[in-house]
Amino acid sequence: MVKRVNIGIIGVQGAVLEHVNTMKKLFSETNTTGEIFIIRDKNQLEKVDGLIIPGGETTTISRILVKTGLYDKILYRIKKKNIAIMGTCAGCVLLSEKISNNDKEIKCLNAMNIYVKRNAFGRQKESFEQEIKIKGFSKTYNAVFIRAPIIEKIYNNCEILAKIKDKIIMVRQDKFLAISFHPELTDDLRIHKYFLDII
């Protein structure tokens, strides 16, 4: 049976088109039918089964989500437990319960039992790539880190999927996936496939 699923990518700022292109490739390779929406209006959220919050500037994304009503609509879907969400880099921060170095302008979605620290690996010039092991993946994954956060604490039913040394960089909780790095900036579709499979 062909799976049908609609994916939304928050399109207010950040690495939006990279996620769109990755999902299009994945749909084609996995014979998945459905639509991919760039979400800029809260009413569009009613159409999607899964949502991606991309990397970008966390404060800017947060402000726009609140201003447009997207924040409240996402929160409503989270509470209803009828949406899957993947947050990458800035999206990882926004899915958290607490930001240890918050500038107080970022409004978290409290979707996951995690505390995060922004820009934990340094600024733009400290960007890097590294092969990492991800739980359930048979081969290593080349992860791209750009002003990346780390997940400082998890609790309850949140599961660690990847670390760099003692630093947590990828976790899952139910249908929510928080990732410190940028899977949309590689040709490796496995993380987006993992997300598609949990929707």
Domain boundaries, the chain: 7-198
Condensed to tens digits (0 to 9), the pLDDT of residues 151-185 reads 999 999 999 999 999 999 999 999 999 999 999 99
Taking the C-alpha atoms of residue 179 and residue 25, their distance in angstroms, rounded to an integer, is 20
Q: How far apart are CA 48 and CA 67, in angstroms?
A: 21
Which amino acid is residue 167, in one-letter code? K
Mean pLDDT for 107-121 is 93
CATH topology of domain 7-198: Rossmann fold (3.40.50)
**pTM for this prediction:** 0.95
What would the pLDDT profile of 58-103 be if each residue is shown by its tens digit? 999 999 999 999 999 999 999 999 999 999 999 999 999 999 877 6
Would you please indicate which residues are annotated as catalytic (active-site) residues? 89, 182, 184
* Distance in angstroms (rounded) separating the CA atoms of residues 15 and 186: 12
